Structures are given as structure tokens and as C-alpha cells.
């Protein structure tokens, strides 16, 4: 049985490229030497999580996966569908709560919290790789 998916791979690739840009910003401001770096890091971490959630949503829609009940559920679905491994899913779900705080309770986010995420930013780069590998497995090289 041949399944035809309508996956917006151009949008996914654009979001993954933006996620890499967020990682590059995190590379540049790793030590948070001043307030400008803190604000740049806050924005980079927030947008990085938005990219993860947006990529997950586009993949869930395009591959007709089950409907998510929230942001953490998007990560769960990506784990269930073997887009991302269990260890990566656990860490990303922890960061989803920080995403909400960066968006709504930004006055409560500490430099130490941002440093902790930025110290593990390679997970975002792994996410990029996992998504690209999944797309290649499901859609072929020329997706």
C-alpha cells in the first residue's frame, strides 16, 4: 500500500534552518557577559523551542499522526512515531516548560536556567538531524 503524504518540507527545512540560527546565537552568548547577551539568549532559547514545536506540528499534520493535546504531547507523538529518541524527548519536554516561562513569565527566568539550556544546545542540533533522517526515511532522499 502506497501512502501519499502532504508534508510541507519547505516549511520544515526553513524552521530547522532558523533553529540552527538560534543555536549559533547561543554559541555566541554562552557566558551571558552582559544584559544584551542575556536578552539575546532568552530570545534564542524561546524561539528554538518554538521551532521544535512548529516542526512537530507540521510533521504531525503532514504525516497524519494523532492529534496532540498540547506542547508536551507534540514531543510525545514525535517520540512515539520514532522521529526522536526517548532521551531526547525527555529533555525537550523539560524545556517546553521553560519556553512557556520565556514567553509569559520572562521576569522569572534566571541566567542560570538559560546557561543550563545553552550548555545542552547540541540537543537542538540533534533534533535537526533526527527530523532530517526521519524525512529521508519516510519520503526518500529527494523530498
Return the CATH number at 67.
1.20.120.580
Residue 50 has pLDDT above 90, yes or no: yes
Query: What is the Cα–Cα distance from 124 to 23, expressed in whole angstroms?
Result: 7
Q: Is residue 87 part of a domain?
A: yes
Q: What is the pLDDT of residue 40?
A: 96
The model's pLDDT over 73-109, given as tens digits with 9 standing for 90+, comes to 999 999 999 999 999 999 999 888 888 888 899 999 9
Nearest to 81 by CA among 54, 51, 61, 100: 61
> Does residue 4 surpass a pLDDT of 80?
no
Has residue 142 got a pLDDT over 80? no
Give the CA distances from residue 94 to residues 18, 24, 82, 107, 136, in Å, rounded to whole numbers and listed in that order: 21, 21, 19, 19, 28
- Write down the pLDDT at residue 5: 80
Question: At which residue does the C-alpha cell 520572562 appear?
Answer: 106
> Considering the domain boundaries, does residue 69 fall inside one?
yes
The dihedral of CA 87, 127, 117, 67: what is its sign? negative
List the helix and strand counts (H, then E) for the chain. 6, 0
Q: Is residue 65 part of a domain?
A: yes
Is the predicted pLDDT of residue 123 greater than 70, yes or no? Answer: yes
Q: Is residue 1 part of a domain?
A: no
At residue 121, the 3 state secondary structure works out as coil
6 part of a folded domain: no
The angle, 0 to 180 degrees and rounded to 10, between the axes of the packed helices 86-104 and 111-119 is: 150
In the chain, % of residues over pLDDT 70:
97
Domain range holding 91?
A: 12-138
C-alpha cell at 37: 547577551
Q: pTM for the complete prediction?
A: 0.92
Is position 5 within any domain? no
Q: Look at residue 105 and tell me if it is in a domain.
A: yes
The residues assigned a catalytic role are 99
Q: State how many domains the chain has.
A: 1
Query: Does the residue 38 lie in any domain?
Result: yes
Of 62, 57, 100, whose CA–CA distance to 75 is shortest?
57
Amino acid at each position: 500500500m502506497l501512502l501519499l503524504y502532504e508534508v510541507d518540507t519547505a516549511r520544515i527545512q526553513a524552521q530547522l534552518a532558523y533553529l540552527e540560527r538560534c543555536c549559533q546565537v547561543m554559541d555566541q552568548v554562552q557566558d551571558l557577559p552582559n544584559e544584551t547577551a542575556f536578552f539575546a539568549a532568552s530570545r534564542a532559547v524561546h524561539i528554538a523551542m518554538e521551532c521544535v514545536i512548529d516542526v512537530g506540528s507540521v510533521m504531525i499534520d503532514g504525516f497524519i499522526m494523532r492529534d496532540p493535546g498540547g506542547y508536551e504531547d507534540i514531543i510525545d507523538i514525535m517520540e512515539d512515531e520514532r522521529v526522536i529518541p526517548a532521551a531526547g524527548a525527555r529533555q525537550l519536554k523539560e524545556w517546553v516548560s521553560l519556553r512557556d516561562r520565556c514567553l509569559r513569565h520572562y521576569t522569572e527566568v534566571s541566567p542560570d536556567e538559560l546557561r543550563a539550556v545553552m550548555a545542552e544546545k547540541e540537543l537542538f542540533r540533534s533534533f535537526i538531524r533526527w527530523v532530517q533522517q526521519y524525512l529521508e526515511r519516510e519520503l526518500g532522499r529527494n523530498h
